A and B are shown apart, each in its own frame.
Chain A
Amino acid sequence: MSNKHLTIPKIFMLAGLIILSAGLLFGLTGALQYIVPGFLKQFLSFEKTRPLHVSAILFWIITGSSGAVFSYLQQSTGKKIYSVLLAKIQCYIFSACIVLIFISYCIGIFGGREYWEFPPALGLPIAIAWVLFLFNYLKSVSGFKNQPVYVWMWLTGIVFFLFTFLESYLWIFPYFRNNIVNDMTIQWKSYGSMVGSWNMLIYGSSIFLMEKIMGVSSYSRTRLAFLMYFLGLFNLMFNWGHHIYTLPTHNYIKHVSYIVSMTELLIFGKIIYQWKSSLDSAKKYGHYAAYSLLLSADAWVFLTLALSILMSVPAINVYTHGTHFTVAHAMGATIGINSLLLLAFASDILMQPPAISNKKFKISLWTVNIALFVFWISLIAAGIQKARWQMSTEKIPFSVMMLEQRPIFIIFFIAGLVLTIGLLLIIYPLIKWPLMSSDKTGKQVVA
């Protein structure tokens, strides 16, 4: 079988889907460790399974979004990217790094920082790969005059990811790390903005895909599209302080973040305003894979943003911080929004439309959405229970509180299991289709 039809975006997407599948299984193992204390404690204890899960999902996001940017950039400009070789090197570096990261976790070698828990030396090749991405992108875009909003969003996402990723390594200098408050302030400054940067890559691609499906390109050049982009960028730059309201850091950081976070209400209002037209469009264009995934993500944007705005009010954050509310928010964002959008891009890039039957796909997607909703609600329930414990004047031991949460964690695990099955049912044909199809079926003409 020839693999000439495996274009650069397809290679990125396939690598991302394989990493996602591994990440789901690690996540499931971690969830099981919540309800079976000591499960795999000697071989793969929680300090290993959690980073395995988190790193896999982060690499799925950066690999998948890179693939989407390469594909849609080529379709947008009608030209091949500047260098296929550089893109291949980028993909191979990402793939090699995640394998090395998995190995390092399994043998217990850590860098020990939230999100990027691998040894700091592995950050260097990731940064180099990202510089290659930036260079390739800049050389592939012929200029920024009269470009649609997604071209700006992609550039913003690439530049800010690189900046925040490097910023997250400032802790290697004693000046930044010697005091815990200073260290955590800079750490969460970088992480808060980093999430915004990959959202730029993903949301930019979703605008392109939505216009491609609908056959119109009217939105991406409008004043509203650019206003929303600048609002997103404003939040990316200044709202990160809502992660550290309870840290004894500068008060101005918290006040700036509080005010900036409230501007997200404008995005929230826009979603509600556009809700009906989205649903009408769904009927008009039919519920095939990519469009249905985009619509599902829309619903999760609504729920996640609502929770996010509430958690950005410091007086409410006091209750939700350090509880599973934060996990519910993270899961809603990474699964409900980022992963569903990335799967929409993957199905658009990897498959010809009849590759999966509409019926099978609908069942899988409904399974994912229902399971994710139960999963999300169970995390909120666990969050409420922990918030009550945190605020209680009775000194109930942590272990007793965790034991009381066990029924919720059982529901959480079962929902997680069904969610994993649903996602794997969507992922499997996406991986199988391009690998099984011959050159004749791979109609994509771009690199």
Chain B
Amino acid sequence: MSLFICTMADTQRGIILTTLVTAFSIYSAHLYTSLPVKSYPVNREAGNGKQVWQRYNCTACHQIYGLGGYLGPDLTNVYSFRGPDYIKMLMKSGTDIMPNLHLSDEEINNLLAYLKSIDASGSADARTFKLKKDGTIEQ
């Protein structure tokens, strides 16, 4: 009898686990095949800029959409907020905290193109979000 109960419990557990794993697989597959942004301009400079961003580990200090390190500011909309000349000047000289990474002109231009493409993807300014009564937000 006790063996029967244990077997039943195992069957129930198996069913719950299978259901969850199936739901997760469908959810993941659906997301992979229907990514949020379907059409966007392919920009070779911005693609190279992403590589520069990763190569110098900019994410250790800077955030994009609030994700990353906190020593430096969020750079999601820095392109439209500060403009390319200001950003260029900072990249060339560094600051008290940010080291001068000795970026080449090409790397700087690529990074600018990358920051421009991020800026065009949306706003990270929390003040612009609309808070709803059910606790959700509208961008």
Seen from chain A, the residues whose Cβ lies within 8 Å of a Cβ on chain B are 33-34, 37-38, 41-42, 45-48, 50-51, 110-114, 117, 144-146, 152, 167, 170, 174-182, 184-186, 188-189, 223, 226, 230, 233-234, 237-238, 243-250, 253-255, 258, 313-319, 321-324, 327, 386, 390-391, 393, 398
Contacts and interface: CB of A to CB of B under 8 A. Distances in A.
Interface string B20-62: 1001100110011001110010100001001001111111110
B129 A246 contact: yes
Given A45-B99, A117-B57, A315 B137 contact: yes
Q: Is the interface of B mostly helix, strand, loop or mixed?
A: mixed
B97 A112 contact: no
Nearest to A49: B60
A293 to B, nearest CB: 29
Given A42-B99, A180-B121, A223-B9, 17 more contacts: A47-B58, A110-B57, A112-B56, A145-B7, A179-B37, A181-B37, A181-B122, A182-B35, A185-B35, A230-B16, A238-B24, A243-B67, A246-B65, A247-B122, A314-B137, A316-B135, A318-B129
B6 interface: yes
A188 B67 CA distance: 10
B65 A247 contact: yes
B70 interface: yes
B69 to A, nearest CB: 6
Contacts, number: 174
Interface of B: 6-7, 9-10, 13, 16-17, 20, 23-24, 27-28, 31-32, 35-37, 40, 42, 47, 50, 53-61, 63-74, 96-97, 99, 117-118, 121-122, 124, 126-127, 129, 131-132, 135-137, 139
A393 B40 CA distance: 32
Contacts of B17: 152, 230, 233
> Closest 10 interchain pairs by CB?
A112-B54, A322-B66, A248-B122, A110-B57, A47-B60, A398-B73, A182-B35, A237-B24, A50-B60, A249-B36
